[in-house]
Structure formats: C-alpha cells, structure tokens
Copies of this chain bind each other. A is one copy, B any other.
Amino acid sequence: MTDLPRHMSVEAFRLAGYATIDWIADYYERIESLPVQPKIEPGEIYSRLPDEPPLEGEAFSAILADLDRVILPGLMHWQSPNFFGYFPANASAPSILGDVVSSGIGVQGMLWQTSPACTELESRVLDWLVEMLNLPGKFKISTGCGGGVIHDTASSATLCALLAARERASGYTAREHGIKNDLVAYCSEEAHSSMEKAMSIAGLGSHKLRKIPTDQKLAMSPSLLTEAIGRDRAVGLKPFFVCGTVGTTSSLAIDPIEEIGQVCGRHKLWLHVDAAMIGTAALCPEFRYVHAGLEFADSYCFNPHKWMLTNFDCDCFYVADREPLNRALSVMPEYLRNEVTEKGTAIDYRDWQIPLGRRFRALKLWFVIRSYGVLGLQAFVRQHVAWAEKFECWINDDPAFELVMPRSLNLLCFRRLGSDDDNRALLQRLNQDGQVFLTHTVIDGRYCLRLCIAQTNTEFRHIERAWQLIQEVADQ
C-alpha cells in the first residue's frame, strides 16, 4: 500500500522501543572499549549514506542496524568514562529517561495555556535549584519578581541577559526603536566566546565588548574594569553590562563577583554571572565560595547538562527581575491570545527566550534530582574534585610535568616540560590512540593539556589509567 501512511502500531512501538533501549544499554556496556575519538576523514560518513532518500518505508530493525554500521564509527563518545575533553555533556540514566518521556508526550510549552504542567514543573524545579545551590532568594519565581527558566545553552542565556540589560539601559526603547551605537559591555579576556557572539547578534558589535585583562589567576581585574568604564564614559559611550565568569572555559578561573558587583552597583550596570560549568559545584557547601558575591547579580546561569548528570541541552537561567527580560522579548499575536496570559496570572516562558516553541525539558531535570537526591548529586561532584586533587599530586610528583595553573575544582591545565610543539604532539598521540580523550588550551601564551574530570561513567580507575597513558606516551 502506498496510498496510506504506514504508522507504527502502539504494540509495534512498544517492541521497537524495547529494542532501542536495548541498543542504548548495549552501547553503554561496550562504550569503554570504543576509541573515544573516531578515526574518520571529512566526508566519510556523508558518503556512506545513500544519495537518495528511500521511496518506501524500511523496517525499524534496518535503521537500528545502521546505527552500528554507519553512525557509531563517526561518533566522538562523549559518554565514555575516558572522555576528559572540553567540558562534558553529561547524560545519566534518569536524565535519558526523563528526556524520553518528553519526546514521547510531545507537548509544546510556549505558553502556560499550551501545557500548564510544562511551565509549572519548570518553575518548581528551578526554584528547587535555587535552594540546592544556595543562590540568592531573589532568583526564586515563587517569592519575588525574579525567576528561572530552562534554555538550551549558556550562549542563549547570555544573549537574553544582554537583551534584557539593553532594554533597561535604553529606557525600554530598544525593542521598538532599535539601538544607538553607544552601548558598551565588559567581560574578562577569558570569558566565553558566546559573549562576543551575543554582542554581534544584538547589533552592538563585538568591538564594543571590552575584554578586561586578568590577574595571575586569570580572573578579571576589578580595578581595570573600573578604569575601562571611566575611559568609555569619558568619550561619551554608555557602559551597561558586565559578564562575570565563574569558571572560565579555558581554566575554570573565577572572577571576583563581589568586587565586580560593587563596581556594577556604583555605575548602574547589569551584572550577568556565567557559571555554566561550575555552578553545579555549589551543590556542596564547601564549594559555595564559587558564588561569593552573587547577590549583586541581575542574572545568572549554569548548565546541568555539563556537570549535573542531565543530558544536553539544559541551561538554567535566572533573573532577579523578570520585567526587563519579558519586555525585551514578549510578543502577542492574535492566535496566541488567551485568558490566562491576559490576566497575567501565570508565566509564559515564550517571553523568556529567543524561540517561540519549547520542549518539556524540566522533566529530565526532575528525573535527575529525584533519582539522585541532593546527597547523591553532592557525592557525584565531591568525588570528581577529590580525584582531581589526586591527579594534581601525580603531576606535581612527576618532574617531567608541570601544572600551568593551580587546579581549579575538577580541571587540570598542565604540560610536559618542553616546547609547545612537544605538547601538541603529545596530545595528538594520546587522542589518536583512542583510549583517552583530552583537549588543550593556551595559558599565558603556553600550549597546555587540559583534563576535566566530570564524566558520569568515569571511575577512579579511569583517572589512574589516563595518567599512566599520559606518562607512557610522553616517554615514547
């Protein structure tokens, strides 16, 4: 029959679903043995796929089989216990299954009206996280004029923070009348590239982003920030936004948010704090120093999809006052009008983000928090920091290696004594071998290896093995 679409019956879905779960379970059973980085040339996977789409539908088993045949050889295995690159994008069993439910029920949470539970579970879980990380109470949706929302990534959160600040700084005219070319923003030299991208997108231009020099710890210098603001004011520009980073991508450096916050307070600048990677550390009271000064922030974000066992994508974005954000981003076409929105008695998360539509992402976060409990999540973070401490000792004890920066939480930036090229070659050999995957960074002009201990499936033995491999390959 070609004149009726061939939908899978519910019973067939059940069986295909079990097979898919089995495929994932089998993948996790062998993931440790797979080379973390694929050995593949550009174009190889593309050319293994047929030129033409199939005319007739195919059996589900054929598609699953092609996952092994075509897709797996072209994957970097982010969930491998031997993955220490970039920052992780942690999945976990409860998170995967929460996401499965989201895909399954397929609701659209653009308005409260279009699925109240999608909005209200999100508000509740984000309120829980305020408690769990001991964030300032002003970020709770239930108690004030602020609140939290789930974004895809910290890039989007940073952009929205910038747009909210731009709206406020323009006296709420930018949205309708556009911007004047006089607004200036600030971050450190080590801040994430998304800050530059956000400045471009917002029409302000990346050149109006002042990258403030950092101290020896690669943290923003508040006095140089103050000077830069003064210079800009003196030539008639209008400083309006500072992005403080808590855990830079390169080295997990931590900007002094309290002092930066005081500068922002004096100059009436919006302070956004980007804690994408290490916000999660604040689950543990002993690591809450990372958030010192956060009471000064107008907005804040961190990514459960990095270190909190929640699969990509899931960034939690908070504002102290939702009005500038909503005024910067709200739209109300006729076909979306509804009583609840007009009464203003509920949150419409559409007005908190760039896109209109939204997935039910709160489910996976809810599944994770309930499955692990606060204590389980704390234990997860603690063990990584403890292992990173061990690793730090190993580096210090080996005269052939040096730490380029003191360890920050679970990240190590180190190098073999020798040239940049030696270290570049070392990294390449390590990653080509496939038993381990690390990335690099450049600190003070020196190329170094960068090892982040945060993957869900990593155990202590993987850390030991990684160090052993690094030493072996360096000796060759």
Contact = CB atoms under 8 A, between A and B. Distances in A.
B128 A53 contact: yes
A250 B89 contact: no
A433 interface: no
Interface string A152-189: 11011001000100100000001111111100000000
A91 B104 contact: yes
A249 B340 contact: no
A119 to B, nearest CB: 8
B201 A45 contact: no
B354 A94 contact: no
Contacts of A206: 175-176
A70 B117 contact: yes
Given A42-B345, A53-B369, A201-B163, A99 B103 contact: yes
The prevalent SS among residues of A at the interface is: helix
B42 A116 contact: yes
Nearest to A70: B117
A54 B197 CA distance: 38
A104 B31 CA distance: 12
Interface in A96-152: 96-97, 99-101, 103-108, 112-118, 120-121, 123-124, 128-129, 131-132, 142, 152
A399 interface: no
A228 B439 CA distance: 53
Nearest to A98: B63
A106 B376 contact: no
Contacts of A373: 53-58
A335 B116 contact: no
B249 A333 contact: yes
B4 A379 contact: yes
The 6 closest A-B pairs by CB, nearest first: A203-B203, A178-B205, A74-B117, A17-B21, A24-B104, A91-B106
Given A76-B114, A104-B96, A89 B176 contact: no
A329 interface: yes
B328 A75 contact: no
A467 interface: no
A52 B128 contact: yes
A162 to B, nearest CB: 10
Interface stretch (A5-13, A218-226, A255-263, A400-408): A5-13
B181 A101 contact: no
Nearest to A203: B203
B38 A116 contact: yes
A18 B18 contact: yes
A216 interface: no
A60 B95 CA distance: 11
B249 A335 contact: yes
B89 A96 contact: no
A22 interface: yes
A234 interface: no
Given A178-B207, A354-B354, A201 B202 contact: yes
A300 interface: no
Contacts of A207: 176-178
Contacts of A94: 8, 16, 60, 63
Given A2-B376, A43-B345, 14 more contacts: A4-B383, A16-B93, A43-B120, A49-B121, A52-B131, A57-B370, A57-B372, A58-B371, A63-B370, A71-B117, A78-B107, A174-B200, A179-B179, A196-B331
A289 interface: no
A63 B367 contact: yes
Interface in A379-393: 379-380, 382-383
A67 interface: yes
A292 interface: no
Nearest to A151: B355
A312 interface: yes
